[in-house]
Chains A and B, each alone.
Chain A
Amino acid sequence: MPYFFIQEKSSIINQSGKDALDLLQRLTTNDISELSIQNPIRTLLTNNKGRIIDSILLFMDADRDLNLLCDSGDTSMVIKEIDRFTIIEESNLYDNSDQFARITAFGDVEDLFFKEPFNINTDSKNEIFFEGFKIILLEDRTKKAPWYELIVKKENLQQITNILVSLNCTQANEMDLNSYCIYNLIPSYNREYGIHTNPIESGLVDLISFEKGCYVGQEVIARIHNYNKVKRAVVLLKLDKPVSIGDKLTIGSSIIGEITSFGGDHNLIALGLVKIKYSSEGTTYSINEGEAKIMRSSK
Chain B
Amino acid sequence: MPELNQEKIPINTIYITKNAAKKVNEFAKRDGKEQFGLKVAVKGGGCSGLQYVLEIVDLPNENDKVINHNGIEVYIPKKAFIFLAGTVLDYSDGLNGKGFEFQNPNAKSTCGCGTSFSA
Contact = CB atoms under 8 A, between A and B. Distances in A.
B118 A89 contact: no
Interface string A10-30: 000000000000010111000
Interface in B99-119: 109, 111-112, 115-116, 118
Given A23-B43, A87-B50, 10 more contacts: A26-B44, A26-B51, A27-B45, A48-B49, A85-B44, A87-B41, A214-B115, A216-B46, A216-B49, A220-B47
B24 interface: no
B44 A48 contact: no
B80 interface: yes
Contact of A85 (B50, B111, B112): B50
A288 interface: no
Contacts of B109: 48
Interface string A79-90: 000101111110
A23 B44 CA distance: 7
A214 B115 CA distance: 10
A275 B75 CA distance: 51
Interface in B17-59: 41-51, 53
Given A48-B118, A219-B111, A87 B79 contact: yes
Nearest to A19: B43
Contacts of A217: 47
B15 interface: no
* Most interface-central of A84, A86, A216 (chain B CB within 10 A): A216
B119 to A, nearest CB: 10
Contacts, number: 65
Given A214-B115, A214-B116, A87 B44 contact: yes
A30 to B, nearest CB: 14
* Most interface-central of A27, A86, A88, A215 (chain B CB within 10 A): A88
Interface in A216-233: 216-220
* Most interface-central of A23, A48, A215, A218 (chain B CB within 10 A): A48
A86 B47 CA distance: 15
Interface residues of B, number: 22
Contact of B47 (A82, A85, A214): A214
A88 B41 contact: yes
Interface in B53-104: 53, 77, 79-80, 83
Contact of B43 (A48, A89, A218): A89
B96 to A, nearest CB: 22
B47 A87 contact: no
Contacts of B53: 88
Contacts of B43: 23, 26, 87-89
A15 B1 CA distance: 43
Nearest to A219: B47
Contacts of B116: 214
B45 A85 contact: yes
Contacts of B79: 87-88
Given A26-B44, A219-B111, A85 B49 contact: yes
A85 B43 CA distance: 7
B45 A48 contact: no
Contacts of A87: 41-44, 50, 77, 79-80, 83
Contacts of A216: 45-49
A26 B42 contact: no
A42 to B, nearest CB: 19
A85 B49 CA distance: 7
A26 B42 CA distance: 13
* Most interface-central of A85, A217, A220 (chain B CB within 10 A): A85
A214 B44 contact: no
Given A48-B118, A214-B115, A88 B45 contact: no
Contacts of B50: 85, 87
Contacts of B80: 87-88
